[in-house]
Structure 1
Amino acid sequence: MRGHRRPAQPPTANWQPLVDSYLSSYAGGVSRSDVDYAEAWAANASQFTAAGSWRARVVNGSLWVRPIHFYEHWKERASMQPRFERAAAAWGWEQRDARAYFGGACSTGISRQSLLPLNRTHGELLHVLDVGFGRSGARWGNFSAQLPPDYACRFQVLLSVPGFGYSNRLRQLLACGSAVVHVQHQSHEFFEPLLKRDPLLQTSAAPLGAGGGRVRTRAPAVSTVLNSLVSDEDSAGSLGSRLTHAAAVSYARALLTAYGTLYRSEVVAPSPADSEGGGFFRIDSARDLLRAARMWDCPTKALGCPKVAAGNASRM
């Protein structure tokens, strides 16, 4: 984002009341402590879902994980990071549309179903493009053919709403250097501890499962976010640069490897016939984690990655 002049004042589009009204429908009183709750939640649950890619459970004091399409899921997203960074550099702040933008499927979950009606009645404040599963399929290649993901970099304010590609969507939107309104998912994202103190992200409430409730907002008001973006050119893309594919892989490896040392004991593996369908791996070391997850620091040729060994590639 360096090298682009920005306006002396934040954009004047008055979309903040509309966003507040949309988010106010998620009422409740559930709060969270300011801790690394992704770890705390996993350690106290018999099974959990993190970032849509993992199942894990504690059996007799030992941690077992089961990856879910992990390699393919991340390989596509990692290849998108340079594309977003190029788009961020190409679109200076003054060139960007001041409306709040969302692009994706608008029917997958309660958090998205209100977006199209709001767009019809408040088009001057929102720009919502619906790319549904029925038309695009559930892969980035199909999605990109309908709506280029880096189209988001043409807007000053971006909406991150739970749904397909949710975790990676947030990382990529932040790479645009725009202000991001991030609607919290009912599952805790593995990277959330990295978001605690950054002033460029507005984290907002969302449903917490069938019981309702909300996660309290700790980030500053969006108007403050916009002022920060305008006044500090050097910090605009800082959070996006920290949430790269490589950084996320490193964080996940460290997190789950630490669990392996905490829960090491003699145990019996979960049965292949259980409700999860088997496929669990015990995690005692970094090597165990890489074997279980097929998780690679650099999974695409476009990023100049080393070739994956044939024995490992056959399992992906």
Structure 2
Amino acid sequence: MTANRIQTGVSDPALNALLARSPEGERPLSRHFSQTEEFFVRTQDEYGVPRLAIHHDVRRPEPDPGYLARLGEVLSQLLQLVPQLWRGLTYLFDPAEVLRPSFFQLHRLGERRYLYLLRLDLAYRPQSHRVLERGDNDLSPAYSTRELYLESFLIPLQGVETENGRVDGLLIDQAISNTWVGETGRGYFVQGIWMDNDLTRFFSRLLLPAGQRTYPYFPYLCRYRTLCRSLVRFSAEEREAALPQLDRAYGFLKPVMGRVESALKGREFSEDNPVFRELKSRIPESWYLPWEGLRVEAYLNEQDLKEYRIEDRAS
């Protein structure tokens, strides 16, 4: 994967056949954010993750057969626990992210194409996972858990590349010119300053009802230098329902994205920003309707760590 291109040519027929057999219906799950603001779903029953290779030579585009077999073990369990997550998806191997397997689906709405990208995060987390077999320098621990860490986005596309009749690459429509602001600190302590987080707050506060606070969930966010839609509802029908929401938001914001970037250069996001206030006044009230039932509540988990629960009457 590069800044604006996602390579999709490397997949696995066996895993895709497994995905195609996803059971009908939905299984209950709850939606959460961890104390470190990582999103996860909690399933009704535990699933197990075997030891997985931590490293993969990025010069080798093909996955190891053993890795695919172990990933298939995980998917076989998750298809039963969260069948709604997988319908219509295709496996995508990313050699740089072997512990974060990816799955995708292409959508079209009018003249625009969109990518639905789902990434699991199978890395071991001591606070969430029960060790079944210890890991080492090459293999992650085997563990069991009810928590599945993931992220899922709808991403606007500029184009789709094909080779021999199959999709080989996806070009992201990068509406944002540059999120780099500058540097802070000196010597070894120099840090880059980026406006991605401020753009995310700008987008979500703009497109959600005034006064509605959903932290740490931001439905609209800056990723891949464009406006993306973060999903916490996963069925094929709910993905389709989110498409027009992103499409109209993208059509609204893309022509004024230069003004938005300029308004955030060198300053943090504020709802008093003149550009924000002007754009907010132009948002139709009907755009807010899908968010009326969304609530995010903080609580303490069994380890007395702060977590967040997403309550959504529409899900």
Normalised to the residue count of structure 2, the TM-score between the two structures is: 0.26
> Normalized against structure 1, the TM-score is what?
0.26
State the structure with bigger RCO (CA 8 A, min sep 6), 1 or 2: 1
